[in-house]
């Protein structure tokens, strides 16, 4: 299964692009995706948080993913 991941902020720098195709097994949850991202991209471990949105809503760790989902990585943001 290929997931299209939209990355914002520092997540885009870590992944090396704004939209990245991520190969995954047929059954994957948000929590499992986070774990695989940490394994493949250790720099995510330095972030204070990393939220994953699925179809424009924050995804709990037990949400199942499919190729049709719009997946976005939302790192911590700062500003004033």
Read off the pLDDT of residues 41-57 as tens digits, 9 standing for 90 and up: 999 999 999 999 999 99
Question: What pLDDT does residue 27 have?
Answer: 85
- For residue 39, give the H/E element and its range: helix 30-40
pTM of the model: 0.90
At 2-25, the pLDDT tens digits run 999 999 999 999 999 999 999 988
Tell me, yes or no, whether 29 lies in a domain.
yes
- Tally the domains of the chain: 1
For position 40, which CATH number holds? 3.10.20.30
Q: Using an 8 Å Cβ cutoff, are 30 and 52 in contact? A: yes
Quote the domain boundaries for residue 23.
2-74
Query: Starting from the edge strand earliest in sequence, which strands make up the sheet with 57-58, in order?
Result: 19-23, 2-7, 71-74, 51-54, 57-58
Name the nearest CA neighbour of 42 among 60, 15, 69.
Answer: 15
Confidence of residue 80 (pLDDT cuts 50, 70, 90): low
- Please check whether residue 14 lies inside any domain of the structure: yes
């Amino acid at each position: 299964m290929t997931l299209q991941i939209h990355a914002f902020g520092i997540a885009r720098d870590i992944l090396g692009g704004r939209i990245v195709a991520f190969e995954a097994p047929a059954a994957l949850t948000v929590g499992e995706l986070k774990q695989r991202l940490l394994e493949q991209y250790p720099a995510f471990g330095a972030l204070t948080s990393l939220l994953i949105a699925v179809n424009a809503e924050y995804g709990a760790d037990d949400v199942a993913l499919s190729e049709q989902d719009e997946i976005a990585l939302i790192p911590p943001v700062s500003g004033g």
